[in-house]
Amino acid sequence: MATLPNPLHNLLTEQPNPASARIDKLSTLEMVQVINDEDRRVAESITPELPAIAAAIDGIVAAFNAGGRLFYIGAGTSGRLGVLDASECPPTFNVPSHLVQGIIAGGEAALSRATETTEDDPEIGIKDLLARGFGPSDVLCGIAASGRTPYVLGAIAEANRMGALTIGISCSPGSELALASKIAITPLPGPEVIAGSTRLKAGTATKLVLNMLTTGAFIRTGYVWGNLMVNVQPKNTKLLDRAQRIIASATGVSYDEAAELLRAADNNVRRAIESWER
């Protein structure tokens, strides 16, 4: 087993938070007020990272245009967040499932129950990456709140060796992941309400960044019309209603007329809008 870099006690995400020092003694309302106050810091922590996020989006778009893909890799909460963001791209933007992929230490079983033992082995990270067919034209985004997870660092090192674009998302300043990645995104929301529980503020910060990466990339590649989700797949009642409202908003026709346009376009929202424009 690999020696873990950077002792845990030095990490920002492991520090005790003075604001929540007596949280177990507070009333329920006071408790959630403390949590809410700490959560307010999360969005602010993203602001200094916007230039790096923009650079990452441009890099992802360049890879997509060249036939490449985006891969997320992480362990525990970080891995689950990557898989979540990847899994939401096909229904939101009607892109193939292979275009954005999430890799989590421990595989699919780790999505529903903790199996974090594999996160300490960089070789497993490399193996899992190569098993997905990752190549030089792809982009690898490593996710680790601590910035020290060997599983992620191993995969990033392999992607760098190939010459691929690497992005590192962590919540600890000067982390190994930030230093190893070509683009480092390092929001610093500060110590957690429960010391070391990075499913809280660090997890929220990570989710915000992932939202920006894929949303920004697909806006840049033409999957959004104005601010409308024109590539949505209307596969259930809710999404069918949304599709009709999008068409009505984009064209100015009535809701019922939008339904007719959608049917004529075989449930393809973009095609329905384009057919009306012609």
Cα dist from 34 to 12, 16, 24, 124, 205, whole Å? 19, 14, 11, 39, 17
Examine the residue annotation and report whether 88 is marked as an active-site residue of this protein.
yes
SS3 string, the chain, reads: CCCCCCCHHHCHHHCCCHHHCCHHHCCHHHHHHHHHHHHHHHHHHHHHHHHHHHHHHHHHHHHHHCCCCEEEEECHHHHHHHHHHHHHHHHHHCCCCCCEEEEECCHHHHHCCCCHHHHHCHHHHHHHHHHCCCCCCCEEEEECCCCCCHHHHHHHHHHHHHCCEEEEECCCCCCHHHHHCCEEECCCCCCCCCCCCCCCHHHHHHHHHHHHHHHHHHHHCCCCECCECCCCCCCCHHHHHHHHHHHHHHHCCCHHHHHHHHHHCCCCHHHHHHHHHC
Residue among 49, 119, 158, 176 flagged as catalytic: 119
Examine the residue annotation and report whether 119 is marked as an active-site residue of this protein.
yes
Residue among 88, 116, 260, 274 flagged as catalytic: 88
Active centre residues (catalytic): 88, 119
